[in-house]
Amino acid sequence: MTLLVVLGGGIATAYVLASGPAHHAAPSHAATTTLPKPKPRPLTHRPKRVRGPHNHPVPILMYHVLGVPAPTQPYPQLFVRPADFGGQVRWLARNGYHAVTLGQVFRYWRRAVPLPRKPVVVSFDDGYLSDYTVARPALQRYGWPGVLNLVVDNVTPGDITASQVRALIAAGWEIDAHTVSHPDLVGLGATQLRREVAGSRVLLRHMFGQPVDFFCYPVGHYDAQVVAAVRAAGFLGATTENPGLGRPLQAYTLDRIRVDYSDGVSGFVEKMQRYGA
């Protein structure tokens, strides 16, 4: 399967448009009437906040393609059978888990905004048609969002289209950046690194009007220079392929639990238990 498809000149144009200064039309005429200031509404309740510690780790699941790999597929473990995915989601629901976005997790860690009981982030790397055809309906049965770590060049027919990404957003999904073309970022020159990291955020925000506050390292590779580029681009955090739970003190190197083709439901449960999820 071709993991990356180049979008061509349209993306470059979008990057230029998205990077340019914003222009706002001046009002056609000045107001001539002074309106009374609205009276402040009485505060009826304060937003809820967690009392006490709000730094508990959260499991972040990592999926790629939901499907059955061809016999010649070089990376079969990146697939998960749709039936297995459905069974894994049902197991989560029956055992009291609730899917959340990374944005919700960070609001809990940073501002003590409560999370549901037993939160879990269900993330999908790259951007494939199965995110729309398989993952979306399976999660929607429970009113759950997913997190799509989207490669800009994968927004194309055959992988996932822009309209399908918008349908995921409408279903409550969070869209995060996974570079423009999915290179190994370690060792890239400064200009190319900035294009892949900051550029992917600019493009996705322009394409979908979403915050795109989180980044995902391709093939899980990063070093100090790459992390610095992620911070400089304004991302709040980033996910890796390191096994474990996401923790607030590792905002730019968040661990995840990778789900493999061979796991099935029983192997998935074993991993959840192994990492204390």
pLDDT of residue 13: 38
Q: Indicate the residue type of 187.
A: G
Task: Print the domain residue range for 78.
Answer: 56-274
pLDDT of residue 201: 98
Query: How much is the average pLDDT of 33-44?
Result: 47
Q: Indicate the residue type of 75.
A: Y
Is 32 within the bounds of a domain?
A: no
Which residue matches tokens 């200031």? 37
pLDDT of residue 110: 97
pLDDT at position 30 over 90: no
What would the two tokens of residue 54 be? 């709000």
Per residue in 190-216, pLDDT (tens digit) is 999 999 999 999 999 999 999 999 999
Q: Are 203 and 180 in contact (CB under 8 A)?
A: yes
Query: How much is the average pLDDT of 39-59?
Result: 75
Is 41 within the bounds of a domain?
A: no
The pTM is what? 0.83
Query: How much is the average pLDDT of 160-166?
Result: 98
pLDDT of residue 23: 35
Confidence of residue 52 (pLDDT cuts 50, 70, 90): confident
Per residue in 109-142, pLDDT (tens digit) is 999 999 999 999 999 999 999 999 999 999 999 9
Is 26 within the bounds of a domain?
A: no
pLDDT of residue 50: 84
Distance CA 122, CA 91 (A): 13
CA distances from 151 to 161, 177, 180, 213, 215 (A): 12, 7, 5, 14, 10
Domain count, the chain: 1
Which run of H or E residues covers position 89?
helix 82-94
pLDDT at position 25 over 70: no
Query: How much is the average pLDDT of 150-175?
Result: 98
Query: How much is the average pLDDT of 51-70?
Result: 96
What would the two tokens of residue 164 be? 């399908």
Is 24 within the bounds of a domain?
A: no
Is 23 within the bounds of a domain?
A: no
Query: Cβ-count burial of 50 within 10 angstroms (0-12 exposed, 13-18 middle, 19+ buried)?
Result: middle
Which residue, among 146, 134, 132, 142, has the nearest Cα to 61 in the 3D structure? 146
Distance CA 165, CA 173 (A): 9
Distance CA 28, CA 64 (A): 51
Which residue, among 207, 204, 139, has the nearest Cα to 178 in the 3D structure? 204
Percent of the chain whose pLDDT exceeds 70: 83
pLDDT at position 230 over 90: yes
Q: Where are the beta strands (DSSP E) in the chain?
A: 60-63, 65-66, 79-80, 98-100, 119-126, 147-150, 174-177, 214-216, 237-243, 254-258
Percent of the chain whose pLDDT exceeds 90: 81
Confidence of residue 6 (pLDDT cuts 50, 70, 90): very low
Inter-residue long-range contacts of 164-172, CB under 8 Å, 24+ positions, other chains counted? 164/129, 164/131, 164/132, 165/127, 165/132, 165/207, 165/208, 166/208, 167/132, 167/136, 168/131, 168/132, 168/136, 169/208, 169/210, 171/136, 171/139, 171/140, 171/145, 172/101, 172/143, 172/144, 172/145
Is 210 within the bounds of a domain?
A: yes
Query: How much is the average pLDDT of 151-177?
Result: 98
What would the two tokens of residue 46 be? 């304060």
pLDDT of residue 273: 98
Is 1 within the bounds of a domain?
A: no
- Please report, for the domain that includes residue 185, its CATH number: 3.20.20.370
Is 10 within the bounds of a domain?
A: no
SS3 57: coil
